[in-house]
Structure 1
């Protein structure tokens, strides 16, 4: 039953039989057979079929809620039993907003110093994707904004508040300033994160409140691309100060604090709300609280 529920969840996530089968490492006929067997066991039709996937039936939508709960409970049971046998071990997958990747590295390094039996995979994703991946069990945790846009029913552990810095070449007109205000970017040609990134929406709101609308000559979902373009094309960007300091190291770039007195949004670890958490996930939440900036 658990295996068939995982097939059903994969199909609901991918909305395509072929992609769902590939994500599970099985053939498409095996997936189709598993879904039909699940429908037979439950006595209802879960999936609308035609020449391709047509969505979930109303019964399928309700079954998906139960499937996520049952599969989640089964995975927690396996983790509890592994902890009883082996102590803290396993593989943690964490999805992280691009502006928090340096903090993800700190978190993983600090955790593995105490628990070397746990391996990490760190993925760069936007905040909406992180919530979707948590819901679909594609990752065990995420690092995202805590108080800027709705998160839903999750467990959280605060890490830090964002502060901002401009990144530019030393010959940029704003490079010699000791501090900048959001209004100083009026008329500047900038490169910024893409609009699907919550950080971009936060910065856009700051610009709007300051009454300016600087142009974005380049947009990217990669902060490395932004830093490279600033250095190569002489543009200017705004990033969280911690990440900005990391990106300018060894480059012909400087940072200038932006509105240092402002209180920025909180960023932290997010995980599916569970009672109780698995031992590994609880240890990760505890590590995040210990790592949190004052």
Structure 2
């Protein structure tokens, strides 16, 4: 039954029998037969079929919700049994918004030191994609914005407050300033993340509030591409301070953007489910420790 539910979930994700079969590592006839058998066992039509996949029936939508719960519970059970037998081990899958990728080692490094039997996959995804991946059980946790846009029914652990800076080459306009305003950054050629990224929406809304005309002449969904274009000397960009520092060099100037001081909370999110699988429970504990440590450091520096 669980294998059939996982194939059904893959079909709902991929919306295509061939791609779903490829994801599950089976042939298309095998997947089609499994979904058909599931329909016969439940006594309802789950999938609208024509010459190709046409979507789920209302009953199929309800079964999908139950399938996610049941599969998640089975995976949690399997992981708990392995943990009792072998200690904490397995595969931890984390997706992070591009601007938070440089922060992820703050979690994975101490986690790896505490749990040497764990391996990791780190994905770069938009905030919307992270929520979808969590819902579909394709990742275990995400690092994303909290509070700026709806994040759904998830467990949230605040990690740090994102602040913004202008990154430009030495000798470029504004490069000799100690700080710049949001109104001023609209006067230089900008390259920014694409509009599908929440970071871009935050930047756009702040610029709009300051009546700054700042239409970028170059957009990319890659931070590396943005920084490469900044190094050309033709463009500047606006990115979080913590991310900019990972690209710091003698040639680059990293300048805080103020007036107003914009800050957005970034945190760890995972599905709201009890009990959590051992890997996820351990990650949540670590994230809360890291968050508490940051708060204590901030109080010391007040």
**Range into which the TM-score falls when normalised by the shorter chain:** over 0.9
State how far apart, in whole Å, the 2-side matches of 1:109 and 1:45 are. Answer: 47
Q: Deviations over 1:58-90 (max 9, x none)?
A: 110111111111111111111111111111111
Q: Deviations over 1:2-45 (max 9, x none)?
A: 00000000000000001111111111111000000000100001
Gaps of 5+ in 2: 296-302
Query: Which residue matches 1:256?
Result: 255
State how far apart, in whole Å, the 1-side matches of 2:186 and 2:202 are. Answer: 17
Residue pair 2:189, 2:236 contacting (<8 A) in 1 also: yes
Residue pair 1:189, 1:216 contacting (<8 A) in 2 also: yes
State how far apart, in whole Å, the 2-side matches of 1:90 and 1:114 are. Answer: 13
State how far apart, in whole Å, the 1-side matches of 2:258 and 2:76 are. Answer: 44
Q: Runs of 4 or more off by more than 4 Å in structure 1?
A: none
Query: Which residue matches 2:269?
Result: 270
Query: Which residue matches 2:298?
Result: none
Gaps of 5+ in 1: none
Equivalent residues in 2 for 1:83-162 (5 A)? 83-162=83-162
* 3-state secondary structure, aligned to 2:216: strand
Residue pair 1:83, 1:279 contacting (<8 A) in 2 also: yes
Query: Which residue matches 1:193?
Result: 193
State how far apart, in whole Å, the 2-side matches of 1:261 and 1:205 are. Answer: 12
Residue pair 1:95, 1:130 contacting (<8 A) in 2 also: yes
State how far apart, in whole Å, the 1-side matches of 2:259 and 2:90 are. Answer: 41
Equivalent residues in 2 for 1:60-71 (5 A)? 60-71=60-71
Query: Which residue matches 2:287?
Result: 288
Residue pair 2:173, 2:188 contacting (<8 A) in 1 also: no
- With the length of structure 1 as denominator, give the TM-score of the two structures: 0.97
In the alignment, is residue 59 of structure 1 matched against residue 50 of structure 2? Answer: no
State how far apart, in whole Å, the 1-side matches of 2:211 and 2:29 are. Answer: 58
* 3-state secondary structure, aligned to 1:83: helix
